[in-house]
């Protein structure tokens, strides 16, 4: 508890007072302390001690629990605000009090997340690495589908243009005076020929797939894109949450003191 009290005071100027088995928090520019139970169970002494002990033990006995990065993310955990660089907090004591209280809640949410999922600090690093890789993987898959969809969209529009101008072009081919017919229907003929060239480039074939087949592939790709975008968005939310948790833990524990914590046999 002494390290915890010292950390809050050094980083945020928050005094932690202990009396009769309970603790309270006194933020800067506030005359009366806030009781831990008023902020929630995560701010009470028992929970904090349990968290500190769990982090100490995690160095010797890593947990086997892992997060599923494919499930919908829960409410995101915010990143702890540095009061010293927050201009608004520097200018407004009232706002500084609000930020300090918010920081306490974020600390509790961070520690509760790690405890409830049985995650050690080492495992948090592994999870973040896996999370970033998963974001990249889902983003790459999404981009590949978007590229295919862009190609099929162009095929669909070109095939539609062929059908719209098919009769005019047939008349042009059957006309005894093609030069005169082309002059009279140059717009339709140019559209048909441009669409035909584009389809040849896109398919590499002289015989083109039907509009029905292209439309079916287009619909399937749109559905796939929608699904992949949701997966990618969820992955980004997960990664942002893990990034915030990682940053918050750096504040709470301070990596410069991790070796000291490792060597302690008790707190």
Question: Do 109 and 181 belong together in one domain?
Answer: no
Q: How many CB atoms lie within 10 A of CB 170?
A: 11
- 147 domain residue, yes or no: no
Mean pLDDT of the chain: 80
Residues 203 and 259 in one domain: no
Considering only residues 77 and 186, tell me which one the structure prediction assigns the higher pLDDT.
Answer: 186
97 touches 27 (CB < 8 A): yes
Give the pLDDT score at 180.
Answer: 94
Question: Do 13 and 127 sit in the same domain of this protein?
Answer: yes
pLDDT tens digits for 215-246? 999 999 999 999 999 999 999 988 998 999 99
- 10 falls within a domain: yes
Q: Say how far apart CA 241 and CA 243 lie, in whole Å.
A: 5
Q: Residues 21, 94: one domain?
A: yes
Same domain, 97 and 164: no
- Asked, for residue 127, whether it belongs to a domain, the answer is yes
Same structural domain, 78 and 165: no
pLDDT at 69 over 70: no
Q: Which residues contact 206 (CB under 8 A, 6 or more apart)?
A: 200
Q: Domain range spanning residue 122?
A: 2-136+235-263
Residues 125 and 246 grouped into a single domain: yes
Q: Are residues 116 and 248 in the same domain?
A: yes
> What digits encode the pLDDT tens for the residues 102-147?
888 888 888 888 888 888 888 888 889 999 999 999 999 999 999 9
Q: Which residue has the higher pLDDT, 265 or 155?
A: 155
- Please report the pLDDT score of residue 105 as a whole number: 86
Residue 143 located in a structural domain: no
Q: Are residues 107 and 10 in the same domain?
A: yes
20 and 102 fall within a common domain? yes
Does 56 map to a domain? yes
Check whether residue 82 and residue 107 sit in a common domain: yes
Neighbour-count burial for 219-248, b at 16+ CB within 10 Å, e otherwise: eebeebbeebeebbebbbbbbbbbebbbeb
Number of domains in the chain: 2
- Whether residue 31 lies inside any domain: the answer is yes
In terms of pTM, does the model score above 0.85?
no
Residue 25 inside a domain? The answer is yes
Radius of gyration in angstroms for the set of CA atoms belonging to the chain, rounded to a whole number: 32
- 13-17, 113-117, 162-166: least confident range: 13-17
The verdict on 122 and 226 lying in the same domain is: no
Q: How far is CA 220 from CA 51, 126, 149, 213, 232, in A?
A: 48, 35, 9, 11, 18
Higher pLDDT, 252 or 225: 225
């Amino acid at each position: 508890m002494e390290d915890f009290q010292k950390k809050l005071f050094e980083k945020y100027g928050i005094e932690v007072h202990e009396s009769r088995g309970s603790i309270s928090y006194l933020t800067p520019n506030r005359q009366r302390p806030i009781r831990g139970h008023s902020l929630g169970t995560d701010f009470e002494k028992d929970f904090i001690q349990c968290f500190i002990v769990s982090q100490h033990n995690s160095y010797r006995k890593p947990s086997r629990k892992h997060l599923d990065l494919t499930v919908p993310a829960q409410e995101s955990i915010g990143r702890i605000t540095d009061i010293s660089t927050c201009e608004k907090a520097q200018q407004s004591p009232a706002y500084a009090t609000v930020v300090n209280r918010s920081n306490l809640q974020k600390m509790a949410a961070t520690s509760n997340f790690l405890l409830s999922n049985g995650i050690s600090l080492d495992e948090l690093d592994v999870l973040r690495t896996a999370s970033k890789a998963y974001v990249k993987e889902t983003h790459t898959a999404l981009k590949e589908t978007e590229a295919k969809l862009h190609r099929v969209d162009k095929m669909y529009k070109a095939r539609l243009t062929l059908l719209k101008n098919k009769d005019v072009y047939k008349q042009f081919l059957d006309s005894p005076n093609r030069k005169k017919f082309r002059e009279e229907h140059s717009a339709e003929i140019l559209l048909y020929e441009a669409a035909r060239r584009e389809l040849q480039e896109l398919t590499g074939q002289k015989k083109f797939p039907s509009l029905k087949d292209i439309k079916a592939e287009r619909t399937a790709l749109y559905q796939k894109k929608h699904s992949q975008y949701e997966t990618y968005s969820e992955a980004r939310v997960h990664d942002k949450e893990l990034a915030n948790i990682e940053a918050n833990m750096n504040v709470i524990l301070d990596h410069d003191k991790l070796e000291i914590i490792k060597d302690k046999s008790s707190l």
